[in-house]
């Protein structure tokens, strides 16, 4: 089993910044992709940012230039630096990791429990 622990959510004024962190632990052989999704009330969960083990990064268009994802492979962690936050960034942010648990195991997605980001105007 793999556990993802998130931290760093909270309340921030529009235009402000927050940093989210996520640490993966447990039965990990290697981790392929790590990233962040978010879900606003009444909306579907959507990709925010994703980084591969090789460092290729994808951002949602809505966060490009404002958010920065960073990954530390040796520590199995991923962070999301969020700047110039807007009300539309508000929601629950979920960490995701695509984990291979053993040499002959298939990759499997694991999700964190989510952390709330609230942006006040």
Q: pLDDT per residue over 67-121, tens digit each?
A: 999 999 999 999 999 999 999 999 999 999 999 999 899 999 999 999 999 999 8
Q: Tens digit of pLDDT for each residue in 37-50?
A: 999 999 999 999 99
Is residue 21 very low, low, confident or very high in pLDDT (cuts 50, 70, 90)? Answer: very high
pLDDT for 20 = 98
pLDDT for 35 = 98
* Average pLDDT taken over every residue of the chain: 96
Q: Which of 40, 36, 42, 16 is nearest to 92 (CA)?
A: 40
pLDDT for 56 = 97
Cβ 111 vs Cβ 95: under 8 Å: yes
Q: Which of 4, 23, 2, 1 is nearest to 113 (CA)?
A: 4
What average pLDDT score do residues 4-25 get? 97
- Say which residues have a Cβ less than 8 Å from residue 65's Cβ, sequence separation at least 6: none
pLDDT for 69 = 98
Cβ 108 vs Cβ 4: under 8 Å: no
Rg from Cα positions in the chain: 14
């Amino acid at each position: 089993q793999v556990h993802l622990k998130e931290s760093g959510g909270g309340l921030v004024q529009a235009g402000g910044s927050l940093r989210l962190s996520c640490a993966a632990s447990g039965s990990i052989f290697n981790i392929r992709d790590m990233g962040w999704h978010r879900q606003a009330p009444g909306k579907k969960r959507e990709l925010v940012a994703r980084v591969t083990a090789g460092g290729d990064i994808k951002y949602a268009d809505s966060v490009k230039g404002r958010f920065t994802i960073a990954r530390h492979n040796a520590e199995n962690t991923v962070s999301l630096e969020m700047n110039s936050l807007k009300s539309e960034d508000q929601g629950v942010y979920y960490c995701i990791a695509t984990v291979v648990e053993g040499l002959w195991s298939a990759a499997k997605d694991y999700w964190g429990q989510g952390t709330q980001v609230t942006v006040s105007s």
